[in-house]
A and B are shown apart, each in its own frame.
Chain A
Amino acid sequence: MPTRLARALPVALLVALFTGASAAQAPQSPAPYTVVSRDGRRPLPTRTFDGQEMFAVDDLARLFTLSIKEDTIAGGLTIGVRGQSILLSPNQEIASVAGRLISLPAPPARDGGAWFVPVDFVSRALGIVAGTPIELRKPSRLIVTGDFRMPRVGGRIEPLGAIARLTFDVAPSTPHTIAQDGNRLLLRFEADAIDAALPTTSAPELIAAVRLEGTAGISIELGPRYASFRASDLPGDRGGVRIVIEIIAKTTEGTPAPIPPTAPTDTPPLLDLVPVGTLRTVVIDPGHGGAEDGARGPSGTAEKAVTIQVARRLKAALEGRLGVRVILTREGDSAVGLDERAALANNNKADLFISLHANASVRPAAAGAEVFYLSLEEYGDEAQRAAGGPREALPVFGGGVRDIEVVPWRMAQAKYIDQSGTFARTVEASLRSRLPMSPRALMQAPFRVLVGANMPAVLVEMGFMTNPAQETQLASEAYQTDVVEGLVEAVIQFRDGRGVPAPAPVQSERR
């Protein structure tokens, strides 16, 4: 009888997990975790000691093939994993993992001869020595092991009158398709499984239900007023993707209702671009590279070497202090075309583009930093047309339509010229408090690398390589740090909407 019960219990608990009972478990008998891998799913029960959820070490040993040896004299437990060992001591909130100390939220617990460890032991200790990724996901009570692709998917529904907006936040970003299949939409992910928290419908006329479909799909059952849909992908938080599906209702004549120009509720419109105050991706462009040295100083310092050094420092500073994603247009000393540099920024949907250069002059005395943004005069009418870009509704794969803004590639910058000006003035002011500036430090010019950038973009000349004193400065850590500090401050001010506003355009300054 006890063996039958022991066999039936995990099955019962697994059923409970899949029927959604996990959200409302009793404190005495929490639902087990599920270990998922390419081999399948296996339950891992927990027990609660002093409010702390724990796994039995014996269960872990069985699932992860560990060897266990208890030291009866010292009272410790040695867990062997692939030739390495984890040492546990009673009443100690620390464990030694392959010689490294890690902390645990509680000391191990004992019940009779059995040892129990806090659930975090799996990620903090086993994850280090297992030789394969082990990810503990507490909210969904999952342990994902190996290269098992199981993105987290969180969904919500917003009823907006004639539209119901369904938003899925997916992390990490996973390729997916959306297709209509009769009276439902199928959202399929290129993954082994999904870890989904699905919404209950609040617009039953348009969305009857949202449920899991197969191992890595979501089925959106359509309501009676469904007419059409449109879908778009937006960058999500922390490398994720946000999928927005808008379900559009029929009017009484059976044609799709006109889309309200502004969302009738107070929720921010999800389809807008990045709102003010958010900055997700910055692209830094270290000028020149490869066979193209750029400017050269009298002692032989090459512009391409200085620009990559500063770019790396700036990347580290922006990532560390602002938590933004930073991409360099070249990682090493390689030749990259000017169009490719802008294309990289566009393809990564960067919010800012900063091109780093060092200047040169036939006059060795020339000195000082300069900030450039694009001038549009050289591009004539084409720039005017691009700035007021038309919108066209184009059909998308899987049905529905999507508003696509049509701007000629070579004129992408025209739309951002005012923002680029603000950012350039902000950079100029920020650098001016740290570095010697050129007599004319803020200029507009028809620079090729800027014109294709589909985001605010500036080009910074950090100083004159041909000036012997400035050559030494440009190669020095102190000067490079000043440049980086100035740029970081300018990026923060621009992000927070505190950029330097446009005065009368600076055309010329005299010394």
Chain B
Amino acid sequence: MTRRALLAIVGFVGAAALLWWSLFVALPRWFREDPVPPVTSAAPAAAAAQRKITATLFFISEDGMSLVPVQREVNFAEPAVEQARQIVEAQIAPPGPPLGTAIPAATKLRAIFLSDRGDLFVDLTADVTARHTGGALDELFTVYAIVNSLTVTLPAIARVQILVDGKEVDTLAGHVDLRNPLSKNLTWVKADNPS
């Protein structure tokens, strides 16, 4: 009697354990539609953070008379407006010698946005005017370093308009008309790379 009772208890516990397993482990696993192992989902995210694109940036030639195109790796980003942000950040950062930059020191990007018509608005801090050399040629270089680096690297961007402290401006230093978005213009770009 005691032996049969013991077997019955063991059988009952075994049946209960089987039932629990089938309810809470086997069935959910059975009905899961598309099991994705966590290891494979983490790998591409890390790869995107490291992915680069080649941007064409523009710096001032040694004689100060033209813009020189320079290829630089910048982080890949999506969508296009975020990629544009990466390019502007790279263009306005001090390039280090021997390159000369057309962007006045301390200039920062405040905001960037893309219109439906493909016009990109680049909003810079007032340093871009306050710290400018005031030369007409330098002013052309400042404007077209930004316009060309964006339009050459990202064909989706048709035109670029520069804003200062969130507002439209007539000029940066009294010469170049900034009332309209500007298209790519390679007039001041020297074709050969001296470095």
Contact = CB atoms under 8 A, between A and B. Distances in A.
Interface of A: 287-288, 292-296, 303, 338, 357, 359-363, 365-366, 370, 372, 375, 377-380, 410, 438-440, 443-449, 451, 459, 461, 464-466, 507-508, 511
B136 A357 contact: yes
B182 interface: yes
B137 A466 contact: no
A138 to B, nearest CB: 52
B100 A294 contact: no
B186 to A, nearest CB: 10
A338 B135 CA distance: 16
A440 B60 contact: no
A363 B100 contact: yes
Nearest to B132: A360
Contact of B176 (A357, A445, A507): A445
B64 to A, nearest CB: 3
Given A445-B176, A446-B177, A461 B136 contact: yes
Interface stretch (B50-58, B70-78, B167-175): B167-175
Given A378-B182, A511-B63, A443 B187 contact: yes
A448 B169 CA distance: 11
B128 to A, nearest CB: 14
Contacts of B137: 359-361, 366, 370, 461
Given A445-B140, A447-B177, A440 B65 contact: yes
A308 to B, nearest CB: 15
B101 interface: yes
B64 A365 contact: yes
A296 B134 CA distance: 8
Instruction: Say what secondary structure dominates the interface of chain A.
Output: mixed
A363 B174 contact: no
Given A287-B174, A438-B65, A507 B187 contact: yes
A366 B136 CA distance: 13
A152 to B, nearest CB: 44
A143 B176 CA distance: 55
Given A363-B62, A378-B180, A338 B174 contact: yes
B177 A378 contact: yes
Interface of B: 60-66, 100-102, 133-138, 140, 170-171, 173-177, 179-180, 182-183, 185, 187, 190
B134 A372 contact: no
30 contacts: A288-B134, A292-B174, A293-B134, A294-B134, A294-B174, A296-B134, A338-B171, A359-B137, A359-B138, A361-B60, A362-B100, A362-B138, A363-B60, A363-B64, A365-B62, A366-B63, A366-B64, A366-B137, A370-B137, A372-B136, A375-B187, A378-B182, A448-B174, A448-B175, A448-B179, A451-B177, A461-B137, A464-B64, A466-B135, A508-B190
A447 B176 contact: yes
A417 B73 CA distance: 41
A58 B133 CA distance: 72
A338 B170 contact: yes
Contacts of A449: 174-175
Given A379-B180, A443-B187, A447-B177, A295 B133 contact: yes
A98 B190 CA distance: 70
B133 A378 contact: no
Given A459-B136, A461-B136, A464-B135, A362 B174 contact: no
Contacts of A439: 63, 65
Instruction: Say what secondary structure dominates the interface of chain B.
Output: loop
A362 B133 contact: yes
A343 to B, nearest CB: 14
A323 B173 CA distance: 35
B65 A448 contact: no
A379 B179 CA distance: 10
Contacts of A511: 63
B171 A362 contact: no
B138 A365 contact: no
A379 B183 CA distance: 10
A428 to B, nearest CB: 15
A470 to B, nearest CB: 12
A361 B176 contact: no
B175 A360 contact: no
A466 B65 contact: no
Contacts of B64: 361-363, 365-366, 464
A506 B109 CA distance: 35
B100 to A, nearest CB: 5
Nearest to A337: B170
Given A288-B134, A288-B174, A361-B133, 14 more contacts: A294-B173, A303-B134, A359-B137, A361-B135, A363-B63, A363-B100, A366-B63, A366-B65, A377-B183, A380-B180, A440-B65, A443-B187, A444-B187, A446-B177
Nearest 6 interchain pairs by C-beta: A360-B135, A363-B64, A366-B64, A361-B64, A360-B133, A295-B134
Contacts of A366: 63-65, 137
Contact of B138 (A361, A443, A444): A361
B62 to A, nearest CB: 7
Contacts of B133: 295, 360-362, 466
Contacts of B138: 359-362
A370 B135 CA distance: 12
A469 to B, nearest CB: 14
Contacts of B135: 295, 359-361, 464-466
A449 B179 CA distance: 12
A288 B179 CA distance: 19
Q: Which of A288, A439, A446, A508 has most B Cβ within 10 Å?
A: A446
Contacts of B187: 375, 443-444, 507-508
